[in-house]
Amino acid sequence: MKIFLAQQNYHIGNFEQNTNKIIEAIEAAKKAGGDLILFSELSVCGYPPRDFLEFQDFREKCMQAVHQIKQHADSIGVLIGAPSENRQREGKDLHNSAYFLYEQRIQSVIHKTCLPTYDVFDENRYFEPASSWEVIQFKGKKMAVTICEDIWNLGDNPLYRICPMDQLTQFEPDLIVNLSASPFDYTHIDDRKAIIKRNVEKYAVPVCYCNCVGSQTEIVFDGGSMVFDRQGNLIKQLPLFQEFLDYVVMQQDGSFSNSVVQQNETISNMELQPLQLNEHLGIAQIHDAILLGIKDYFSKMGFSKAILGSSGGIDSAVTLVLACKALGSENVRAVLMPSHYSTSHSVEDAVTLSKNLNNPYDILSIAGIYDRFLETLHPLFRDMPFGLAEENIQSRSRGNLLMAIANKFGYILLNTSNKSELATGYGTLYGDMAGGIGVLGDCYKLQVYELANYINREQEIIPQNIISKPPSAELRPGQKDSDSLPDYHILDKILYQYIELRKGPQEIKDAGFDPALVDRILKLVNTNEYKRNQFCPVIRISPKAFGVGRRMPIVGKYLS
């Protein structure tokens, strides 16, 4: 049996585009002699559709697409993902389902059992879990069809009462098929591979796993679809971060004619998330995930040009390089906005970077604007000392200029804030926190430096001075980040313990961190929730990003 995996990038709610893409893959597989083709979870409408599912018109368009696709499932079996109506009187109105199409008919509809409701997932809001299980008989094989999270519960997951594969094993399946929409983070690729192998080891059945690719606002899907034989050997792995159509050939005895990509390895540790921040981990994949996040945000929103403030600092430099790679240098405009406190080398560094990238740039001094603000405010501020208010006026002046240019010329403003700054509130609302999408908002400062080094791995694109000089917002004479924040080598490690690992203050102190510093940092994180609540979407690259995956009360008292 020749089985195709269609790793595709869908646009949520774009039924015409998604349907055409699915049909093109079906026709290509048929032309190549395919027997079966797999698509990913909710492929018809795109994942995650969220509250679009509450619209009857949206649900009807999903079914219209399914019926259109089934006309092409004549000589080939097709497994696609779409919502289906819950015909029981109790429970949610919908199931998250896999439709098996063959001979131009809907032969079977399989419902998802394990509905994730954690981090970026909220499926219990919309879907009813499966309450019965069956295999699909096709060309002499029994297929156990599962959907994404279903294979993550092997009977030892406390989040779920039922393990669907335990139910399906009674039918003695020949093949496990999984339609997935599994998001990227820098630990998840190995984690995903490990969980598939655990299914193979437990059930002694080969697995065909089809994951989607593409970015949906803040969530990046990396693809990496895989096929494992019953011995746990990796038979096929599709590329990361790109659409791809490929196949395996399953023999009558359940083996594959494809050569082994990777021999079976014993899984010794399923706890693949590091217990300490490792800023080097997965940096190439983080780089590629952010590129995809930028590309898809612009293409799916119908925009082509970006603007950002270029300060001569590491964050704006890395953002500018990534944006130029994603959108083309000619489509990214950098604006240098020096003030009274900007150093000459910062301007020179920013100019050198834009010349290296060949992107358009402008230099607009905010010194005069800043002076007029102080002049206007003088009757209120009088002879009060220079402080945070004056610093923030500079940042907000820059934000106003950037948004004015964006509005005038149809740009999208890229935000350059990093995760360390967002965590501690080291940013100005309506100033340097403005933007349509946060490019580095899920990267700690140490990871930003690693991205810069990765970008420069073959030639110096980012001037070395940008990488080596002490970071500074340059909002007052001689200012450095270290005046307000602990050294990033300490700060980022404490933040990782609190945000990614969800460790309490005493646990972090017991790990050897200075107690007073832990209290100070955690208080900064919690008291600045109001700022993050007003922040733009952040491209997610970690196991716990700010935004939809981390929901904290603004007025909470915990640790404040």
Task: Give pLDDT tens digits for 119-145.
Answer: 999 999 999 999 999 999 999 999 999
> What are the phi and psi torsion angles at 57 (to 5°)?
-60, -40
Buried b (16+ CB within 10 A) or exposed e, 314-338: bbbbbbbbbbbbbbebebbbbbbbb
User: How far, rounded to the nearest angstrom, does the alpha carbon of residue 65 sit from its chain's CA centroid?
Assistant: 27
Active site residue 85: no
Structure tokens at 205: 């059945």
pLDDT computed for residue 485 by the predictor: 87
pLDDT computed for residue 270 by the predictor: 45
* Cβ contact 346:312 at 8 Å: yes
User: How far, rounded to the nearest angstrom, does the alpha carbon of residue 23 sit from its chain's CA centroid?
Assistant: 27
Amino acid at 556: G
Active site residue 62: no
* Catalytic site residue from 21, 41, 193, 445: 41
Intervals of CATH 3.40.50.620 along the chain:
303-533
Active site residue 41: yes
- Residue 477 CA to residue 191 CA, distance in Å, equals 47
* Catalytic site residue from 62, 148, 208, 443: 148
Intervals of CATH 3.60.110.10 along the chain:
2-249
> What are the phi and psi torsion angles at 401 (to 5°)?
-65, -45
Amino acid at 515: P
Q: Could you name the CATH architecture of 2-249?
A: 4-Layer Sandwich (3.60)
Amino acid at 409: F
* Catalytic site residue from 30, 61, 70, 112: 112
pLDDT computed for residue 364 by the predictor: 97
Q: Within the chain, which residues score under 70 in pLDDT?
A: 266-272, 474-475, 560
DSSP string, 242-280: S-EEEEEEB-TTS-BSSPPSB----------S-SS--TT
pLDDT computed for residue 401 by the predictor: 98
Residue corresponding to tokens 């079977």? 108
User: How far, rounded to the nearest angstrom, does the alpha carbon of residue 345 sit from its chain's CA centroid?
Assistant: 35
Question: Which CATH superfamily hosts domain 303-533?
Answer: HUPs (3.40.50.620)
Strands 332-336 vs 306-309: parallel, antiparallel or unpaired: parallel
pLDDT computed for residue 410 by the predictor: 96
